[in-house]
Amino acid sequence: MRTDVTKLLEIEYPILQGGMAWVAEHHLAAAVSEAGGLGLIGAASAPGEWVREQIRKVKERTEKPFGVNIMLMSPYADEVAKVVAEEGVKVVTTGAGNPEKYMKLWKDAGIKVIPVVASVALAKRMERCGADAVVAEGSEAGGHIGENTTMVLVPQIADAVSIPVIAAGGIADGRGVAASLMLGASAVQVGTHFVVTKESVVHENYKKCIIKAKDIDSKVTGRSTGHPIRVLRNQMTKEYLRLEKEGASFEELEKLTLGALRKAVVEGDVVNGSLMAGLSAGLVKEEFSCRELIQKLMSEAEACLKGAKLYE
């Protein structure tokens, strides 16, 4: 019998907010946790002291558990790993690497460790090294992605490990939550829909692009470099994909995207910025508060699981 994620993380609802770079800062993390989910600060490539400041700001806004997402490729990963232990953070999720070297530090500090994985092999390895749960993230997700879809990845990982599995990638409404639970997940992680919440500090231009997005507006750049990233199409992605097709070097492609996420999130440049968003953007139709969104996800999921026909 798997551990209940809500009990494991001491949260009310089985909903985690994605640790999105430039998006998942203290306002959003605190609002999600206060609403009964698990809010996450996205450490991305930020230095340890920035993360420490964000942690303390969340604590000023809520007494409920929250976490930090650590991108292990970050040059500051070592110092951020120490900061979360020093600051008494309850949960750490990890991406872009293997967290084994930090496991003892975090476990000794009483931190629940939840790596984001895109394969069965990595999920099994994370269980062996002491992970408390894993986030099985399908290729429908925004940002950096693997190859397997959520629909096939979640049940295979659920079959392969005994720790809780949290589904991510393409989940934006109660149907996605209910489907994830039926596939064997114990909870879900939602990213794109939380970008478009009232507490999100993301520029209004970015939010409007997600709300207007159709099913055909998602593109994957970077396949040629081995680092595929899902974004909404714009002038920048059009140029990137053209250069990829022509066999441009990694350096040339990197130059095009340097600082592009910040351009979109902070400056509202939706022409040349990187509009990271999942395939679920086509399901996001309006802006809610974090509390309203979580309540909507849960009520829809409950109705689906009870067999109610919400969408006829």
130-to-57, 86, 165, 202 alpha-carbon distances in Å: 29, 20, 14, 35
Work out the burial of residue 262: count CB atoms within 10 Å of its CB; fewer than 13 is exposed, 13-18 middle, 19 or more buried.
middle
Same domain, 157 and 220: no
Q: Clarify whether residues 186 and 231 are in a common domain.
A: no
d(CA 95, CA 101): 14
Is 290 domain-assigned? Answer: no
Number of domains within the chain: 2
Residues 142, 187, single domain; the answer is yes
Structure tokens at 58: 């969340």
Mind listing the pLDDT tens digit of every residue in the chain (312 residues)?
566 999 999 999 999 999 998 889 999 999 999 999 999 999 988 999 999 999 999 999 999 999 999 999 889 999 999 999 999 999 999 988 889 999 999 999 999 999 999 999 999 999 999 999 999 999 999 888 888 999 999 999 999 999 999 999 999 999 999 999 999 999 999 999 999 999 999 999 999 999 999 999 999 988 888 888 899 999 999 998 988 888 888 888 888 888 888 888 888 889 988 899 999 999 999 999 999 999 999 999 999 998 866 555
Evaluate whether residue 80 is within a structural domain. Answer: yes
Which CATH number fits the domain that encloses residue 26?
A: 3.20.20.70
Do 45 and 194 have their domain in common? Answer: yes
* Domain edge (last residue) among 167, 199, 231: 199
Strands (DSSP E) contained in the chain are: 15-17, 39-42, 66-71, 91-95, 112-117, 134-137, 143-144, 165-168, 187-190, 218-221, 229-232
Provide the residue range defining the domain that includes 136. 2-199
Spell out the residues 6+ positions from residue 186 whose beta carbon is closer than 8 angstroms to its own. 2, 3, 4, 5, 14, 133, 164, 165, 166
State how far the Cα of 299 lies from the Cα of 205, in Å rounded to an integer. 29
Looking at the structure, do residues 135 and 241 belong to the same domain, yes or no? no
Q: Are residues 227 and 87 in the same domain?
A: no
Q: What is the DSSP letter of 277?
A: -
For residues 121 and 153, membership in a common domain is answered with yes
Cα 8 off chain centre by: 19
3-state secondary structure of 165: strand
Backbone φ and ψ for 234, nearest 5 degrees, come out as -160, -165
3-state class (DSSP) for residue 287: coil
Residues 168 and 191 in one domain: yes
For residue 302, tell me if it sits in a domain: no
Query: 110 and 221: one domain?
Result: no
For 122, other C-beta atoms within 10 Å of its C-beta total 17
